[in-house]
Amino acid sequence: MVRFERTINMPEKILESFNVKHLSILDEKGDTDESLMPSLSDTDIKMMYELLVLSRTFDHQALNLQREGRIGSYAPILGQEASQIGSAFALEKTDWIFPSFREIGVYITMGYPLHMLFQYWSGDERGVKTPEELNIFPVCVPVGTQVPHAAGAAMAIKYKNKRKAVAAYFGDGGTSEGDFHEGMNMAGVFKLPVVFICQNNHWAISVPREKQTASKTIAQKAFAYGFEGIQVDGNDIFAVYKATKDALDKAKKGEGPTLIECFTYRMSDHTTSDDASRYRFKEELEAWKPKDPILRLRLFMEKKGLWTGQYQKEVEGRAKEAVDEAVKKEEAIEHPEPKDMFTFTFEKLTQRQTKQIRDFQ
């Protein structure tokens, strides 16, 4: 018997490798890396600052109202304002937004009527009856389930060949859900015009970030689905804005989705039904205080001569006025009638429902 023998060499091959980038532009002292600075006019920067202050004023007032029993449960955004306003500032009104439930800053930036936000948080569904000129889809409380909706809407945009994009908001907790992975996978396979914005605020109620995933970053999850992921300093409004703007431009050019991880911190409780002091250390909270997103933009503006004590007073005054007016307007809205519960179950009433209304009255 003849035996053929040969020795072959099969060195290990690297098929793919990835680098996860982190983007910071504005530091805690208010200094910026000019080479990275996005193009923003002084007016833009002032507008960003005013939106930050307005959002924080709203947040504060909503907590007060909840404590007084004037609104229901509320999910505060304290500490996450730059992640929300920075990203929403890059969006156009024609873009589509799929929020989770902690996106007051996004709503305010897009020009959503403030009184309707109070209305929603008072438990009145009519508060999320988004005005016609905006494309904000319903507040989505079940965690992560809006991610496939965003992919579906992006599919519709692609099909209709429109120059628009979709922004999907969710938290670090949401990235453990199957829906997140299924939606991301779909977006990758079909190269859909969608930007996934994860506000990694480090806590999903009482579950810390390290219990959520063994991955070093959330951004890197995008690579498994064939597109780019980037981590940004979520308390740095310029970094968030730049990353979102770049991702939106890319999506609108037909170059597919992006995952942005905004590295931030939930300075308040999960909602008004929660008490974070029972499960997290005070030191952690203290360490995040100097990283405050509003403080650092203020320092930057002060150095640029865009901020004065007088300006601060005016901005705060206008914010307070707007919020107070919204509360007044909301509290004057007539309560719905019991029969109204039938009205929107279907697009139009069915025959059985008409009978049910009659029986009900």
Q: Which two tokens stand for residue 284?
A: 């952690």
Q: How far is CA 338 from the centre of its chain?
A: 34
Cβ proximity to other proteins, 281 vs 346, nearer residue? 346
Distance from C-alpha of 261 to C-alpha of 22, rounded to nearest angstrom: 9
- Catalytic option among 266, 280, 335, 358: 266
Q: How far is the CB of 126 from other proteins (least distance, A)?
A: 4
Q: How far is CA 59 from the centre of its chain?
A: 15
Q: How far is the CB of 162 from other proteins (least distance, A)?
A: 10
Angle, CA 117 vertex, CA 153 and CA 138 arms, to 5° = 20
Site residues (vs other proteins, CB under 8 A): 96, 98, 125-130, 137-138, 140, 142, 145-157, 159-160, 178-179, 181-183, 185-186, 189, 343-348, 350-353
Q: How far is the CB of 170 from other proteins (least distance, A)?
A: 13
Cβ proximity to other proteins, 154 vs 243, nearer residue? 154
Q: How far is the CB of 175 from other proteins (least distance, A)?
A: 14
Angle, CA 225 vertex, CA 220 and CA 228 arms, to 5° = 50
Q: How far is the CB of 259 from other proteins (least distance, A)?
A: 16
Cβ proximity to other proteins, 321 vs 340, nearer residue? 340
Count Cβ neighbours within 10 Å for each residue of 240-250 and write b for 16 or more, e otherwise.
bbbbbbbbbeb
Handedness of CA 75, 81, 83, 84 (dihedral sign): positive
Cβ proximity to other proteins, 153 vs 222, nearer residue? 153
Concerning whether 266 is annotated as a catalytic residue, the answer is yes
Provide the CB-side half-sphere exposure for 49 (13 A, CA).
24
Helix axes 42-67, 114-121, angle to 10 degrees: 30
Other beta carbons within 10 Å of 13: 5
What is the H or E stretch that residue 231 is in?
A: strand 228-233
Concerning whether 74 is annotated as a catalytic residue, the answer is no
Written as one letter, the residue type at 356 is Q
Concerning whether 279 is annotated as a catalytic residue, the answer is yes
Handedness of CA 181, 88, 201, 37 (dihedral sign): positive
- Catalytic option among 209, 270, 296, 298: 270
Q: How far is the CB of 235 from other proteins (least distance, A)?
A: 30
Cβ proximity to other proteins, 289 vs 355, nearer residue? 355
Distance from C-alpha of 80 to C-alpha of 237, rounded to nearest angstrom: 10
Cβ proximity to other proteins, 51 vs 153, nearer residue? 153
Active site residues: 266, 270, 279
